């Protein structure tokens, strides 16, 4: 039923083009209520989406190694706008500039239906219409068995043809067996409708698990972005 494109995947980590880049600077720039108000740019953007409280903002802090860059909270519904962070990385003396984008979560029950719809269309418009969106990281809480809300969102991403990587978060909070079991079940559920599965990472913002792997992927996607824009 769903896409079978190999751009959903990641190339082998052994590839020579994959290198690990260092963060040189990371700055909060602006919070926008609509994709139309976001910064004008031709640099690639990497957005983080997932249900409320899954750990999107924490992952941004973990990747940039700046504890309070994106605002986090133990209570769901903290991020309410589209937040842009300007990132500079350095890899073998070459500086790259790109964006991290922190989005509000979906599925937050404790707001009015109209507010929830507003957030949903803000997210959907951004994901579907933002021309500089290079890739999406779709976060899933690794402590839980597959949830309908997440599977529905994954399927919507397929329908919209938006490339993404799955990130199973909070891996430090459960034993590894449970985490592995939940990841496997989620991918198994996806197989019911997806011909090819997207790549996935398992992360912990606490322990910095998955940091190097995600930065490597972003580095590779940045190179692809540059090559495509030169054509």
- The contact set with Mg ion (CB under 5 A) reads 56-57, 78-79
What is the largest distance, in Å, between two alpha-carbon atoms of the chain? Answer: 50
Which residue is nearest to ligand GTP, using beta carbons? 105
Interacting residue with ligand GTP among 169, 194, 210, 216 (CB under 6 A): 169
Distance of CA 77 to the CA centre of its chain: 17
Q: 56 with 48: CB under 8 angstroms?
A: yes
Interacting residue with ligand GTP among 39, 76, 163, 181 (CB under 6 A): 76
CB nearer to ligand GTP: pick between 147 and 223: 147
CB nearer to ligand GTP: pick between 141 and 220: 141
Following DSSP, what letter does each residue of 101-156 receive, concatenated? EE-PPB--TTS-HHHHHHHHHHHHHHHHH-TTEEEEEEEEETTS---HHHHHHHHH
> 97 has which bridge partners?
88
Smallest separation, CB 45 to Mg ion (Å): 16
Residue 169 interacting partner from Mg ion, ligand GTP, none (CB closer than 5 to 8 Å by kind): ligand GTP
Q: Is 204 in the site for ligand GTP (CB under 6 A)?
A: yes
Stretch that binds ligand GTP, among 12-20, 73-81, 114-122, 178-186 (CB under 6 A): 73-81
Interacting residue with ligand GTP among 73, 121, 176, 185 (CB under 6 A): 73
Neighbours of 66 (CB within 10 A): 16
Contacts of the segment 145-153: beta carbons below 8 A, 24+ positions apart: 145/182, 145/185, 146/182, 146/185, 146/186, 146/189, 147/51, 149/51, 149/106, 149/107, 150/50, 150/51, 150/186, 151/186, 151/189, 151/190, 153/49, 153/51, 153/106
Q: Is 83 in the site for ligand GTP (CB under 6 A)?
A: no
Interacting residue with ligand GTP among 18, 19, 41, 77 (CB under 6 A): 77
CB nearer to ligand GTP: pick between 58 and 182: 58
Q: Is 182 in the site for ligand GTP (CB under 6 A)?
A: no
Stretch that binds ligand GTP, among 50-58, 82-90, 116-124, 145-153 (CB under 6 A): 50-58
């Amino acid at each position: 039923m769903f896409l079978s494109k190999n751009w959903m995947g990641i190339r082998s980590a052994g590839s020579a083009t994959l290198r690990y880049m260092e963060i040189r600077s990371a700055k909060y720039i602006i919070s926008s209520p609509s994709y139309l108000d976001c910064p004008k740019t031709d640099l690639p953007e990497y957005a983080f989406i997932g249900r409320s409280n899954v750990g999107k903002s924490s992952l941004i802090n973990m990747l940039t190694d700046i504890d309070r860059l994106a605002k986090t909270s133990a209570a769901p519904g903290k991020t309410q706008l589209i937040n842009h962070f300007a990132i500079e990385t350095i890899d073998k003396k070459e500086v790259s500039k790109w964006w991290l984008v922190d989005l509000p979560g979906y599925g937050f029950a404790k707001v009015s239906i109209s507010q929830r719809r507003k957030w949903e269309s803000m997210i959907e418009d951004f994901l579907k219409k933002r021309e500089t969106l290079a890739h999406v990281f779709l976060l899933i809480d690794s402590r839980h068995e597959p949830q309908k809300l997440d599977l529905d969102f994954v399927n919507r991403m397929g329908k919209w043809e938006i490339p993404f990587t799955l990130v199973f978060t909070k891996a430090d909070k459960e034993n590894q067996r449970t985490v592995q079991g939940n990841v496997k079940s989620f991918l198994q559920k996806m197989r019911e409708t997806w011909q090819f599965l997207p790549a996935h990472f398992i992360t912990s913002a606490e322990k910095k698990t998955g940091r190097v792997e995600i930065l490597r992927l972003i580095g590779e996607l940045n190179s692809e972005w540059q090559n495509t824009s030169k054509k």
